Amino acid sequence: MAGFTYTTLTQAIQDYTEVDSNVLTSTITDQFIENSELRILRDVPIDAYKKQSVGNLVTGQTTINVPAKTLFVKGVQVYNSTSLSTGTNSWLEKKDESYLQEYNPAETSTGFPKYYAMFGGATGVTDTTSGRLFLAPAPDDTYVFKIHYEAIPDGLSGSNATTYISQYFGNGLLYACLVEAYGYLKGPIDMLTLYENKYKQEVEKFAAEQLGRRKRDDYTDCTVRIPVPSPSP
């Protein structure tokens, strides 16, 4: 199935449900699309939305804000330098906040950070509401850090005609929207079940691409060989 634009997806939702804009207004279909996009983001990590953010730690400060619209943090590097162009880097170990509190209960010891934990925020709107990272020990210098994270992208809308999901996972986005639509319309349960199953089938294939094929190459991993059963003699 070809990719969708905002206009063609909105029209497809109306066509598949056989209702017009008097029933499914743009406000309603926009909510279907937003709900579906968020569902897909939580079902499959998508390479296109991997981001990095670079900054400097504050001496003695145990927390830093994660970037705006962070869905989840994939990893944190800290360089033993105040400049990204010098020094070597270390990956911090992710722990629960309770572990860090036990490691540094008074939050007074300083040094090169070794652990981090995610806490607070998570509304995703700004860097102060997307959550924070708790570090231990607190940095003893303004070391450079790099946060690797999965970002919440700008969604499909009247002012954003296409997205990666709408172009490269258009069928899955459509089926997810139809699940939302039939639930809203209180339509036949068999139709809701049909599109829920279609979505699950498509998301399995999309996940295999994002988590499998995009994580390997033929040179280092060799070509995937799929056994083909042959009839018994």
Ordered DSSP codes for 48-112: GGEEEEEEEPPTT--EEEPPTTEEEEEEEEEESSSSTTSS-EEEPEE--HHHHHHHSTTS--EES
Taking Cα atoms as reference points, which of 173, 179, 170 lies closest to residue 197? Answer: 179
> Residue 145: in which H helix or E strand, if any?
strand 144-151
Same domain, 70 and 30: no
Same domain, 62 and 133: yes
226, part of any domain? no
Same domain, 145 and 181: no
Q: Tell me, what DSSP letter sits at residue 118?
A: E
221, part of any domain? no
Same domain, 75 and 59: yes
pLDDT at 32: 97
Which of 151, 167, 189 is at the close of a domain? 151
pLDDT at 72: 87
Same domain, 186 and 110: no
pLDDT at 210: 87
Residue 132 burial (10 A CB sphere; 0-12, 13-18, 19+): buried
224, part of any domain? no
Work out the number of other CB atoms within 10 angstroms of the CB of residue 76. 23
Same domain, 196 and 109: no
1, part of any domain? no
Same domain, 136 and 59: yes
230, part of any domain? no
Same domain, 134 and 75: yes
Same domain, 141 and 52: yes
- pLDDT by residue for the chain (233 residues), tens only, comes to 469 999 999 999 999 999 999 999 999 999 999 999 999 999 998 999 999 999 999 999 999 999 988 888 999 999 999 888 888 899 999 999 899 989 888 778 899 999 999 886 555 555 555 688 999 999 999 999 999 999 999 999 999 999 999 999 999 999 999 999 999 999 899 999 999 999 999 999 999 888 877 777 776 766 656 666 766 66
55, part of any domain? yes
Which of 111, 128, 151 is at the close of a domain? 151
Taking Cα atoms as reference points, which of 110, 104, 112, 52 lies closest to residue 79? Answer: 112
* Domain span at 75: 48-151
Same domain, 70 and 138: yes
- Tell me the CA distances in angstroms from 114 to 48, 55, 78, 129, 136, one per residue in order: 29, 17, 9, 24, 6
Which of 126, 151, 176 is at the close of a domain? 151
Number of independent structural domains in the chain: 2
Cα distance from N-terminal residue to C-terminal residue, the chain: 40
| Distance, CA of 132 to CA of 140 (rounded, Å) | 19
| Amino acid type, 56 | N
Same domain, 61 and 140: yes
16, part of any domain? yes
- Tell me the CA distances in angstroms from 8 to 33, 41, 134, 157, one per residue in order: 12, 21, 44, 11
DSSP SS3 for 196: helix
Say if CB 108 and CB 18 are below 8 A apart.
Answer: no
Say if CB 139 and CB 54 are below 8 A apart.
Answer: no
232, part of any domain? no
- Tell me the CA distances in angstroms from 201 to 2, 109, 205, one per residue in order: 17, 51, 7
Same domain, 76 and 109: yes
Taking Cα atoms as reference points, which of 151, 103, 167, 163 lies closest to residue 117? Answer: 103
